[in-house]
Structure 1
Amino acid sequence: MILVLIIPNIITADPMEISASDGDLYEIINADTLADGTQAHEYILVSTDQTYKMTGTITVKGDFYIQGELDEDDRPPTIQSGVLSDGTTVGTLFVLAGSDAFGYFGDVYLLANATNGAASGVAIEVKGDNVDLYVESCVFDAWHTFAIGYNGQWDSFWIHNNVFRNMVHPNQQYIGEVLRNTWPGEAYTDTVSMVGNLMIGINGYAAAPVSKWYMRYFQFDENAVLFTFKNPFFIFNMTEGTMNDNIFYGNYAGGVDRAEDPWWDNLWYPDTSYGVIALQP
């Protein structure tokens, strides 16, 4: 089985070009909805001379498309949290809440650090069921918790040619993960395709779609996973897939948290056999 990333024509509305000088990205996109609450346009970010600020989580009910335009030096537009009136920052930038929907993020730099330097937890969260999320040529920088988290049923993820970097939590050694099936860990997963990505300097997993329920297909090809504190995978619920032509270096530096022995990364039964890549029957 060979998986190829094909971006569908997911949005039929006209594109809306947004400059960073237009104002709060949260306010602009939240106001641009149809009568049913779904987005009225696809969004094209055209500024690289200043960052796009957000003062709230953008929660979408249906299809969502956001694309950055690279400058002449191939720098993408950057999105970061602003500082709210009470001094707090935005914990999660984007939430895809609608079921049977598509999401697309392309050529954007998602920065966890707000304008005051405080880092946030999650860049993209998928809550809807049967969602296809496409992430292409993006940079995820300094996310403390997850770059991408999800707990919808039968979601699929097409994560190609991205950079995930500096995902280190200030006081929790085992968190800072690229892709995570989140609490309560009861979601089935359809497909995870991760191809051509660089993960460097992350505390946690490069991929953790695991729960007690199975995943239909897992593709992890042509990636580089460099310097992880934890083991790079939590994927024992995969049923079919490929892991080809990857580079692993400096992984599992922190080893096992003995407080969780023998349940470290085990959900079905206790097991004390650990390794950089450990499989259960």
Structure 2
Amino acid sequence: MEKRLGLGKEKKLSEAWKVFDEFIYKCLNLKDENNEEQKSGLVSSLTREGQGGTSGDSRKFITDTLLNLMIAGRDTTSTALSWFFYLLAQNPTVEKNIRDEIKKHLGGGKWESLGVKELGELVYLHGGLFEALRLYPPIAFEHKSPSTADVLPSGHVVDEHARIILSFYSMGRMEGIWGEDCMEFKPERWFSSGGGIKHEPSYKFTAFHAGPRTCLGKEMSLIQMKMVATAILYHYHVELVEGHEVCASDSIILQMKYGLKVRLFLININQAS
């Protein structure tokens, strides 16, 4: 009824959608006018031949994809970082190791920007973020319904009216999947034997979903989280506010019910041991 009459939240949603479309189409028109020769980048990859979605309209496909990236990545990224810093505050040794790694690979902190190459060298930071995502996945559970009757690999028959609940939160804490130390915050879990980053199948590490439903913004969100975490940890030591209760809220996204209250202590990275 609100949508039909243009009232309340539906009115705000329609107005916001209009503003977003105007902004995106303005950027696309500007790109066309400049006749950019650059063939790489998100927009260029989305506008290449065959990227029109089910509608066949490439511009609508681009706006829908960018809207999905913005909405899906806002609360999930902030939630992942909150749980990451919560775990670091409980594991000061891990925080120190990450800070030492940043100091080793990024030097004196005079970097004007952080690129994919520099952030890719921070293996301990990567492991810490992935451990936070394993223990506290922003999307804690998903539900699936088959379009037609099917049989699961386990042999269970699923009809078209069934609904399957996938608890990513539980899967990240199962001994049968992650071993006896599944409840430990252990960044080393993500180290390869050669000292690089260890890959785990997406059907095992489900924080970014798997298969055709893999998160479109996976790499972008990882870069964002690494940038924020690096900038904060390089300059500050994080401590939880004494007495502050940290628990998950009852929502689709695994946010903290009362937020994360911390104290930041400015450090001198050159003197940190």
TM category (shorter chain) comes to: under 0.3
Q: TM-score, normalised by structure 2?
A: 0.21
Q: TM-score, normalised by structure 1?
A: 0.21
Structure with more of its chain in helix, by fraction: 2
Q: Which structure has the larger Rg?
A: 2
